[in-house]
Amino acid sequence: MIQTDLSDVPQRVSTGDLPSLSRVGRLITDAHERYASNDDGIVADYIPALAEADPSWFGISLVGVNGSRHAVGDVDVAFSIQSISKAFMFALMCERYGREELVARIGVNNTGLPFDSVMAVELNDGRPLNPMVNAGAIGTTALVPGENIDERWTIVREGLSAFAGRPLEMSEEVYESETRTNDRNRAIARLVYSYGRMAVDPAEAVEVYTRQCSLMVTADDLAVMGATLADGGVNPITGQRVVSNEASSDTLAVMASCGMYERSGEWLFEIGTPAKSGVSGGIVSIAPGKGATGLFSPRLDFAGNSVRGQHAAAYISCALGFNMFASSPHAREKSSLAH
Ligand code: DON
């Protein structure tokens, strides 16, 4: 458990509305101040380009479904989206093929194992089970239609850009660094393929997936992307419908059960939101019907989740009523309470 001390933060329950604009602004500034000096965790280096991140970076951005925006800290620093792309790719493929197809081909359960686990594939007869880990995400990206890699890549880039509300660009540096070091992902894709569970060349699927992970985003972008899922698939900034209500809620459900890797249960228990993290230090935490927070700070815990991001998300969830499970008794007449 990340053990965030919130004993001095009054819990707000989910009401369907964010608090007033000035209060939201103050609370996310508080969240930033509270955790900016936390130096726990380490910056990822298994993809060499990620090791260049400044560990002191820390940004928080919040976007409401009404288009309201608040930001504090390093919200304009660009970083590679990495695993956070998995959630939005799942939404795009749910939209295209329907939930049954995704459940049948990939699955919607947590493996309880690390994001790059080979054993999880073996244990489940080659079915990835979880679309938020590498096997399931490569399997999801393998579903993108197209005659060749570039056609599929265009669909991925345009789809993820629609969530962000602006054209996202790939970092050549991150892409090349990951391409040089992603033998494990190639092995996982080939293993899934060997079970007859991938319809395209696994090397091509990994190629598109690696480009997808190398798209550059900011904490602001993550907040807009998350707010689009919170808003039933409509981007609250551009007004564009990106995916259906159903694809949004299916994605939020998978994020809730699988988005924080083997810490997903603890996250839901402690923070109570659908969320997704990535190894470059980003987290998107969503309050369905209200909005989303994009958090960014590169120091990670053992599972690959930003440490400051988790603390700040816990604070925001508690103080702004993001926790889906928080409730309090409905106000009743005294007489009805007596019975
Ligand atoms: O495939 C990989 O290993 C990376 N492109 C993404 C992994 C990731 O972000 C997992 N995060 N916690």
**Ligand 1 mutation target, pool 43, 213, 297, most atoms within 8 A of CB:** 213
78 Cβ contact partners less than 8 Å away, ≥ 6 residues apart = 171, 216, 217, 218
The one catalytic residue in 9, 80, 85, 86 is 86
Contact 106, 128 (CB under 8 A): yes
Ligand 1 neighbourhood includes 278 CB (under 6 angstroms): yes
Task: Give the model confidence (pLDDT) of 64-74 as tens digits.
Answer: 999 999 999 99
Ligand 1 neighbourhood includes 185 CB (under 6 angstroms): yes
What pLDDT is recorded for position 327? 85
Indicate which residue's Cα is closest to atom 7 of ligand 1.
83
Q: Does domain 83-213 have CATH number 3.50.50.60?
A: no
Long-range contacts (CB closer than 8 Å, 24 or more residues apart) made by 101-109? 102/131, 102/140, 102/250, 105/139, 105/143, 105/197, 106/130, 106/131, 106/136, 106/139, 106/140, 107/131, 107/136, 108/250, 108/253, 108/254, 108/257, 108/258, 109/257, 109/258
- The domains of the chain are located at 21-81+216-320, 83-213
pLDDT confidence tier of residue 216, bands split at 50, 70 and 90: very high
**Ligand 1 mutation target, pool 80, 134, 302, 306, most atoms within 8 A of CB:** 134
What pLDDT is recorded for position 135? 97
Q: Which amino acid is at 170?
A: M
The one catalytic residue in 35, 175, 193, 261 is 261
What pLDDT is recorded for position 339? 54
Task: Give the model confidence (pLDDT) of 10-52 as tens digits.
Answer: 877 556 788 888 899 999 999 999 999 999 999 999 999 999 9
* pLDDT(172) > 60: yes
Report the atom number in ligand 1 closest to the C-alpha of 210.
5
The pTM of the whole model exceeds 0.75: yes
Report the atom number in ligand 1 closest to the C-alpha of 303.
12
Ligand 1 neighbourhood includes 79 CB (under 6 angstroms): no
44 Cβ contact partners less than 8 Å away, ≥ 6 residues apart = 50, 51, 279, 280, 281, 298, 300, 304
Report the atom number in ligand 1 closest to the C-alpha of 178.
5
**Ligand 1 mutation target, pool 115, 130, 179, most atoms within 8 A of CB:** 115
Determine the CATH number of domain 21-81+216-320.
3.40.710.10
Same fold, 21-81+216-320 and 83-213: yes
- Once rounded to an integer, what is the mean pLDDT over residues 81-97? 98
In the residue annotation, 86 being an active-site residue is answered as yes
